[in-house]
Amino acid sequence: MKKFAFSFMLFCMSTFVYAQDCDIPLRPLVAQSSDGSYYPQVVNYLTNRLRVLTSKAGSIGGMENSQFALAFGYDVIDKQIVSGAPTKVIYNVSISMHVVDLKAQKVYATYSNEIKGIGDNETKALINTFQKVNVSNVEIRNFVQHGKQKIMDYYDNNYQNIIKGAQALAAMKNYDAAIYNLMMVPECCKGYDAINKELMNVYQQFVNQHCNENLAQARAAWIAAPNSEGAATASIYLSEIYPDAACYDDAMELANEIKNQMGEEWKFMMRKWADNISLERQRINAMRDISIAYANSQPKTEITNVFWK
């Protein structure tokens, strides 16, 4: 019995460390106060504090389209305005933080507390109040870790569906969306080997398609104007081609053709992998850039259903 209890304790400890050491995509989200008041400076301050918290907890903050969020909300319990020079505003607020699944509308972890603060106006008073939320507090960090473990459980149970979804997107040539969804899966997910295999497959499809499109544009530009202007336009398209694309050699031929005709006037060089950095690392960086570009191109979704309060 003691052996079983000790083994179970080790399992729990390893599970906690497993989540603690793993980067989880968490979107910072600040809900509007229940009284309807809105202070942009306060929202910006809280958003930045949430990013600090996710960073300290080993999560990836700032993922604006992530399925998972670290949500912050507050309710004003009491507000007093004290006359004087200057006037002081005193707040007593109830705060709550939640790790939530926005897609499934589930709450994975919750932290709540009451805090007070004072300032020369409402904005300063609220910011001074929220400054008392210590992101290094053990209770707060444990709350985030608990939420992260729940997210890990989600990925462990759903990675095969994520792969199928990525394959469907790739079949429609939505390669950047497929790469983004696969890149969101943490490396410590139990199905990450399968995720990584599919990621490399989709990435190769992406760079091949990207190469074909840009090479066609570069050729058209050069044929239309075999001069310095056409060379400049062609170089824009050629610079977008990845070194591991299937048509890279064909692109090199075109680049050499342009260089032979233009001579020293054309200073263009094709993109190459750096010799001092592993090819795998450079490909990961390329996929991360593709993911960021995709995320930045998406409209920011406004959360209107605050289901966690």
Question: What is the predicted pLDDT for the residue at 7?
Answer: 33
With contact defined as beta carbons under 8 Å apart, do 195 and 189 qualify?
Answer: yes
Residue 194: helix, strand or coil by DSSP? helix
Dist. CA 268–CA 18, nearest whole Å: 47
Please classify residue 21 by burial: count the beta carbons closer than 10 Å to its beta carbon, then call 0-12 exposed, 13-18 middle and 19+ buried. Answer: exposed
Residues 51, 107, single domain; the answer is yes
CB atoms < 10 A from the CB of 54, how many? 26
Categorize the per-residue pLDDT at 137 as very low, low, confident or very high, splitting at 50, 70 and 90.
confident
pLDDT bin (cut points 50, 70, 90) of residue 130 is very high
Is the alpha carbon torsion for 223, 227, 229, 232 positive or negative?
positive
Sheet containing strand 106-119, edge to edge, reads 27-30, 68-82, 88-101, 106-119
What's 112's domain CATH number?
3.40.50
Interval 294-309 mean pLDDT:
72
Q: Is the pLDDT of residue 18 over 50?
A: no
- Residue 287 and residue 190 in one domain: yes
Asked if pLDDT for residue 10 goes beyond 50, the answer is no
Report the C-alpha gap between 108 and 128 in whole angstroms.
28
Q: What is the pLDDT of residue 309?
A: 66
**Residue 57, both tokens:** 């907890």
Our count of domains for the chain comes to 2
CA dist., res. 116 & res. 125, Å (int): 9
pLDDT (0 to 100) of residue 4: 30
Quick one: 106 and 200 in the same domain? no
Examine the domain organization and report whether 94 and 182 are in the same domain. no
Is residue 257 domain-shared with residue 149, that is, in the same domain? no
Helix, strand counts (H, E) of the chain? 9, 4
Round to whole Å and give the CA distance between 115 and 96. Answer: 11
Q: What is the pTM of this model?
A: 0.78
The answer to whether the beta carbons of residues 132 and 115 sit under 8 Å apart is: yes
pLDDT of residue 6: 30
pLDDT, tens only, 230-286: 999 999 999 999 999 999 999 999 999 999 999 888 888 888 887 767 888 888 889
Enclosing domain of residue 62: 22-155
State pLDDT tens for residues 217-234.
999 999 999 999 999 999
What's the DSSP call for residue 272?
A: -
In this structure, the answer to whether residues 118 and 237 fall within a common structural domain is no
